[in-house]
Amino acid sequence: MLRIPKWYKQWSADNPTKLYGPGIVVGTIGFAVIVAVSAVSSPTLQTTDFQTGPRGIGMAVSKFVKDNPQDDPYAAQYVAYERVEVPVGTPTAAEAYGDSVVAFGDMDQANFDQLTKAMSEWTGADIVLYDNGEVDANMLEVTQNCIELTQYLNTDWDGHNLASDGRGVNCYTCHRGEPIPPQSWFKAGAVNASATGWAAIQNRVMLDNKYTQSEFTSLPVDAVEKFLLDGESIKVHDLESRVNTLPGDPTWQNAERTFSLMNHQSNSLDVGCVYCHNTRAFYDGTQVTPQWSSTITAQQMLSNINQYYLEPRAELLPASSLGDEGDAGKANCATCHMGVVSPLNGRNMVAEWPELAAPLE
């Protein structure tokens, strides 16, 4: 049995100490340190940083890892259809199916059929590329329009789509296996038949999807229509006081449309303001990041394709495919990006079928 020496008992009696108070303090501090260490090392609180501009001036995007996956789940669902080997003498699509072939007539019949299967898989629709006696003439024209649009994006807008860098777009980039691309947008229209002007577009909750430009804000709901269809320019910054102006002033509303579009772009790519801008000088084009020019290019591209390729389809599509205003579905940033910077994780979408990156003859 352990016996405590008499001298220790006497020393303790002569030097009394309250152990409970200090013990509680030390224990509390120790517990706090353990909690802090656990929190910092927890995956839910780990951050990731992406440098967007010069170092030292805060030009970086910082996010919690759990909130910033930057992973396009559709990439895993993509079905690639590789080319097939064909014997010499195989007829071309035009020779096999006649002059009604709307695209790829010079391609051999076997690979023409293979690409048709791929396009059907990518769009979730039964794609036909020639008049087989059953296909609707309007839908055949829409299909041809889609192919021309894809080739146009991969050639004339290569600077944004990076087809030459091994990315590009094909049917799946927008359609994601559905006949109508899930992130298509339609004109919002007036809030009711009697509303016009400011009241027609302001203070409306839009619940189209999570990338909608206004969503739960009071911002105008027609931002993508003005900037990505009508082609209006974002030039609303000035240093004049707005104290004496009232709601409805065009500069106010155009500024709010800009905020709405910025929200849409931010949500579509899952990035913040400093992905493109230096927040100390939003108005100064000399202090922006390289991503700013890519975004401006995208706005011009979208306005172009919406005007010349997508909006005119309203005359060809059935009423069930049109919006409340009778317009065809159009494209915005979310149509391709779907919440990530690199759609489909940067996959090469024209590798198997380079014809999709070549103009029609």
Q: How many CB atoms lie within 10 A of CB 42?
A: 10
264 annotated to a ligand binding site: no
| Contact assessment for residue 253 and residue 323, using Cβ atoms and an 8 Å cutoff | no
337 annotated to a ligand binding site: yes
| Dist CA 112 CA 320 (whole Å) | 30
Please report which helix (H) or strand (E) contains residue 129, including its range: none
Q: Are strands 60-64 and 47-51 parallel, antiparallel or unpaired?
A: antiparallel
Query: From its phi and psi, is residue 261 left (phi > 0), alpha (psi between -120 and 50) or beta?
Result: alpha
290: which 2 tokens? 């390289």
| Contact assessment for residue 146 and residue 116, using Cβ atoms and an 8 Å cutoff | no
SS3 state of residue 120:
helix
Q: How far is CA 59 from the centre of its chain?
A: 21
**Could you report how far apart the first and last alpha carbons of the chain are, in Å?**
102
175 annotated to a ligand binding site: yes
206 annotated to a ligand binding site: no
Q: How many CB atoms lie within 10 A of CB 297?
A: 14
| Dist CA 232 CA 299 (whole Å) | 10
171 annotated to a ligand binding site: yes
| Dist CA 116 CA 103 (whole Å) | 11
| Dist CA 159 CA 174 (whole Å) | 18
146 annotated to a ligand binding site: no
Find all residues with CB under 8 Å of 330, minimum gap 6, and list them: 184, 185, 186, 228, 229, 306, 310, 311
Residues within the annotated binding site for heme?
160, 171, 174-175, 262, 273, 276-277, 333, 336-337
Residues within the annotated binding site?
160, 171, 174-175, 262, 273, 276-277, 333, 336-337
